[in-house]
Structure 1
Amino acid sequence: MTSQLSAEPQLIEAAEGGIPSALADLGRLVRIPGIAWPAFDQEQLQRSAREIARLAEETGVFDEVAIRTATIPETGEQGQPAILATRAARNGKPTVMLYAHHDVQPPGDEALWETPPFEPTVRDGRLYGRGAADDKAGVMAHIASLRALRETYGDDLDLGIVLFIEGEEEFGSRSFTRFLADNAEAMRSDVIVVADSGNWDSETPAVTVSLRGNAKFHLTVRTLDHASHSGMFGGAVPDAMLATVKLLATLWDDEGAVAVEGLAERDSDTPAYDEDTLRSETGLLAGVAPIGGGTILSRIWNKPSITVTGIDFTSVAAASNTLSSEVTVVVSARVAPGQSAQDAYDAMERHLRAHAPFGAQLSFSDVDLGNGFLVDTSGWAVETARGAMRDGYGRDAVDYGVGGSIPFIADLVERYPDAQILVTGVEDPHSRAHSPNESLHLDTFRHAILAETLLLARANERTV
């Protein structure tokens, strides 16, 4: 059998040689507008799943490749199509699960895109298109790495591999827990690689070691049983918008930091990161100050945040001189790693009820909770990943916290408590995932493929 030491130059050559094909396949995937929201054409998700299943089959690595769905526990409806491909380990080698997702965010206002969102376009060293970074690049990093392994090892590859490409991550992974339960043994793994995070910058890799949780809900504020004339009663009757504005303002202090008793913070050091970098990576306007206190990265990685992401109210075009009776907003909170999402939600509900102005009536609905995650960095897989990243990128990896949430990781930990979790990714701070003009840095993609290929090859040298 080919040894690791003698195979690595051949592996790197195979991975490098496969990058043009991987980019071409990525472009074909980007052209498929697979969005899990019911308002969009669901056949496109089926089409995306079929294409990825074909790519998995063609690697020649797997014993079985299937497109599967699971029921959503709350509704009994079928979830979106996922690809599950499996290869049994041989000769005592570990099994590695490779996760990514093929569904994408809606494009939003297409007028804000410089090029069509589902037409892959290369300019200035980046590939633009919805899903180019999040997360079809993650899908293709897996496929490209498997191709290089197959080309190098042939039938001598003993590593067990589970390829799990989800179809509803952007829509809340609603059938995820049922999918795990239905396929528990087929998916059992020693190491789980979640390719849905980012890197320190376009040249420096990162191992994600912490993720914030999320707690999202709809808040409805009522002050009247019907709308009234604002001229006849304004000044005496509190309308729902007034109550909502005053109530929401209590969620933050004057510096914009969260001011809800019971929302925890994590005490952990963060790397150096200055305000100029924040402005460059976010587009923060000149004259607009950052919010919160403490180091900038502690605010993003280790502290809670609250954002109002939606509102049901009269549009500007339809505005009239009316006292509103009811307003509904969507409140989205990020929860510090280490605090349960349920505890965080309970704290926010207590706070809002205690601060309701004028005796306004509050109701809460559509609660969506996901726990954060802290990676155990003591296992061999994290150390192997760091070495593979160093060799694949030519730079040492940074331990990285993420302000966003990947709630299903907690489900994976619950189902497979002995598995080592690696959270990696192909995005960089300028990828603009979820935003107009999403893009993938092409050199980052190349390095990510090299690093994952080396990680899998080195895992193939271990026994469990």
Structure 2
Amino acid sequence: MRQGQVLRSQAIDTAQDYFDHGGLLSDVQRRVAFHTESQEPGQAATHIAYFQQEIIPTLQRMGFHCRILDNPVAPLAPFLLAERHEDNTLPTVLSYGHADVVRGDDIHWHTGRSPWLVSVEDERWYGRGTADNKGQHSINLAALEAVLQTRGGRLGFNSKWLFESGEEIGSPGLREICQSEQMALQADVFIASDGPRVSAGRPTLFLGSRGSVLIELQLLLRKSGHHSGNWGGALRNPAVLLSHAIASLVNAHGVINVEGLRPPPLGAAVRNALSGLTLAGEANSPQVDTDWGEPGLSPLERVIGWNTLEVLALQAGDANKPVNAIPPTAKAVCQLRFVVGTDWRNTRQHIVSHLQRHGLEHVQVRILSSSAATRLALDNPWVRWTLDSIQLSTDKQAALLPNLGGTVPNDAFADILGLPTLWLPHSYPGCAQHAPNEHLLAPVAREALGLMAGIWWDLGEQGSQIIAQAAAHTGENHV
């Protein structure tokens, strides 16, 4: 075995020894104890404390220079930018993590568990943020330090990290920071971890995410309700109109009826990447409705490669205490999840025109929020490099997803910073992300430490070569 291979294996062993001796668990236990709930304004100071007491000391120990950045949009959700520079001739990687978590929801956790105290039960580490995202960025930081130790204080590349504390509230200010700090965030590649693998036992690479548009449909017909016996048949019922509006947008089988909200046909490259993969299958996963959604596609193709229009909430009257009255108003909040190639910027116009054609012009349409879809080309040289590195480290063929079914703020890195984006998730579909009893699987975490040590090691060995190949690939595609 060549010396480089020996040292690579040593870096992986160092990372996994850290796990075996309780180092990662100790990190995660301390970090989960910070109540960094971005949905709770009263916890704003906790984000700064998390940066100052946990992340900055870890980064400074590795030679990073750190600075906390004010959020230009949401003052209660600051950023942390860190840089470790070795040489101008070396590759530069930008990494990312988010300090914030969703609400702890303490009362709904299983008896004896707390969202803020990590409890270990069999192979599961329970606690808020274990999977999303404190456990994941803790793994990447520990693997980076293992490579630094093995190389005798060098990485072989320049490393930058951007942490935010508002991902769970839509990443306000992230895009503005990427624009204002564009020079400081310059890099050759983006590598980060969030979201789930396709399954616990299958390492996964995804190259972007579906976008999201949050849509409000509302009817405001009167100031108050009116007796359904005295006025029924003479007054428009907003709940009935809203029901018809929703039914006109998406049919009873979950198929989108609005042509402008549908994606382009599923390409061969995406089909090939997803062939042989299945959706979920873990014990905690819901049973898939195989007859729901776009016909002719597998469930995974519908989640990864297609668009969905979901109703998230409905409101008209009080279903728990109904009265004999025609409600004055009705409202629904819907969500369009969409892939690259969708005309998402004209979502409101598409819906309004569609409703008018169906005689439902009384429905008011408002866009509440939106974020773009992204996807790195599947034939980009960085993709094959990553898959080869994972296989060398784990002896497993990684699943390649063109994009995540959910939404991460990847457009900030792919579109604003113009970086090839590689996401290596360390969670799994049954982790109860955002729910009570969120957890990290210990075997996945241990494997991920070795996997990421291999990624960081190979970046230091092969990064310059892959950058040149990627530049040539981009040039060929623009000829």
Same-fold status (TM-score > 0.5): yes
Shift of residue 42 of structure 1?
Answer: 2.1
Shift of residue 300 of structure 1?
Answer: 0.9
Residues 106-125 of structure 1: per-residue CA shift (max 9 Å, x gap): 24473254532222222231
Letter of the 1:271 partner, please give it: S
After TM superposition, list the pairs within 5 Å mapping 1:17-416 onto structure 2. Answer: 17-19=17-19, 20-62=22-64, 64-72=65-73, 77-78=74-75, 80-90=77-87, 92-108=89-105, 110-111=107-108, 113=110, 115-265=113-263, 266-268=265-267, 269=271, 270-273=274-277, 280=283, 282-284=285-287, 290-292=291-293, 293=295, 294-355=297-358, 357=360, 361-400=362-401, 401-406=403-408, 408-416=409-417
How far apart in 2 are the matches of 1:283 and 1:434?
15
Question: Is the Cα–Cα contact under 8 Å of residues 210 and 374 in structure 2 kept in the other structure?
Answer: yes
How far apart in 2 are the matches of 1:392 and 1:172?
34
Residues 60-103 of structure 1: per-residue CA shift (max 9 Å, x gap): 231x112222211xxxx525122211012416210111112111
Partner of 2:473: none
Letter of the 2:292 partner, please give it: I
Question: Is the Cα–Cα contact under 8 Å of residues 60 and 66 in structure 2 kept in the other structure?
Answer: no
Letter of the 1:342 partner, please give it: R
Letter of the 1:403 partner, please give it: G
Partner of 2:445: 445
Any idea what SS the aligned residue of 2:128 has? coil
Any idea what SS the aligned residue of 2:130 has? coil
1:353 to 1:437, Cα distance in 2 relative to 1, 3 A: farther
Question: Is the Cα–Cα contact under 8 Å of residues 339 and 373 in structure 2 kept in the other structure?
Answer: yes
Unaligned runs of 5+ in 1: none
Shift of residue 415 of structure 1?
Answer: 2.6
Percent of aligned pairs sharing the same letter: 20
1:124 to 1:98, Cα distance in 2 relative to 1, 3 A: same
Question: Is the Cα–Cα contact under 8 Å of residues 392 and 454 in structure 1 kept in the other structure?
Answer: yes
Question: Is the Cα–Cα contact under 8 Å of residues 49 and 83 in structure 1 kept in the other structure?
Answer: yes
1:68 to 1:345, Cα distance in 2 relative to 1, 3 A: same
Question: Is the Cα–Cα contact under 8 Å of residues 68 and 81 in structure 2 kept in the other structure?
Answer: yes
Shift of residue 210 of structure 1?
Answer: 4.9
**RMSD over aligned Cα, in angstroms?**
2.5
Unaligned runs of 5+ in 2: 468-479
Any idea what SS the aligned residue of 1:161 has? strand
Shift of residue 410 of structure 1?
Answer: 1.7
Question: Is the Cα–Cα contact under 8 Å of residues 37 and 104 in structure 2 kept in the other structure?
Answer: no
Question: Is the Cα–Cα contact under 8 Å of residues 228 and 324 in structure 2 kept in the other structure?
Answer: yes
Letter of the 1:267 partner, please give it: L
Question: Is the Cα–Cα contact under 8 Å of residues 104 and 170 in structure 1 kept in the other structure?
Answer: yes
Letter of the 2:349 partner, please give it: D
Residues 328-383 of structure 1: per-residue CA shift (max 9 Å, x gap): 221111012322431344323432344354x5x23233531111112124444322
Partner of 1:7: 7
Partner of 2:475: none
1:101 to 1:126, Cα distance in 2 relative to 1, 3 A: same
How far apart in 2 are the matches of 1:278 and 1:343?
36
Question: Is the Cα–Cα contact under 8 Å of residues 138 and 426 in structure 1 kept in the other structure?
Answer: yes
1:356 to 1:205, Cα distance in 2 relative to 1, 3 A: farther
How far apart in 1 are the matches of 2:7 and 2:359?
66
Question: Is the Cα–Cα contact under 8 Å of residues 100 and 194 in structure 1 kept in the other structure?
Answer: yes
1:3 to 1:164, Cα distance in 2 relative to 1, 3 A: farther
Residues 47-69 of structure 1: per-residue CA shift (max 9 Å, x gap): 2222333343353231x112222
Any idea what SS the aligned residue of 2:135 has? helix
Question: Is the Cα–Cα contact under 8 Å of residues 384 and 455 in structure 1 kept in the other structure?
Answer: no
Question: Is the Cα–Cα contact under 8 Å of residues 130 and 438 in structure 1 kept in the other structure?
Answer: yes
1:362 to 1:108, Cα distance in 2 relative to 1, 3 A: farther
1:210 to 1:416, Cα distance in 2 relative to 1, 3 A: closer
Shift of residue 241 of structure 1?
Answer: 1.6
Letter of the 1:14 partner, please give it: T
How far apart in 1 are the matches of 2:225 and 2:110?
39
Any idea what SS the aligned residue of 1:196 has? coil
How far apart in 1 are the matches of 2:415 and 2:49?
31
Any idea what SS the aligned residue of 1:284 has? coil
Shift of residue 308 of structure 1?
Answer: 1.7
Any idea what SS the aligned residue of 1:130 has? coil
Question: Is the Cα–Cα contact under 8 Å of residues 139 and 165 in structure 1 kept in the other structure?
Answer: no
How far apart in 2 are the matches of 1:313 and 1:43?
38
Letter of the 1:459 partner, please give it: L
Residues 9-41 of structure 1: per-residue CA shift (max 9 Å, x gap): 221121112222122111221222212124553
Question: Is the Cα–Cα contact under 8 Å of residues 177 and 411 in structure 1 kept in the other structure?
Answer: yes
Q: TM-score, normalised by structure 1?
A: 0.89
Shift of residue 273 of structure 1?
Answer: 4.9
How far apart in 2 are the matches of 1:391 and 1:271?
22
Letter of the 2:180 partner, please give it: D
1:86 to 1:437, Cα distance in 2 relative to 1, 3 A: same
How far apart in 2 are the matches of 1:301 and 1:366?
23
Deviates more, 1:230-239 or 1:309-318: 309-318
Any idea what SS the aligned residue of 1:156 has? coil
Shift of residue 397 of structure 1?
Answer: 0.8
How far apart in 1 are the matches of 2:190 and 2:331?
39
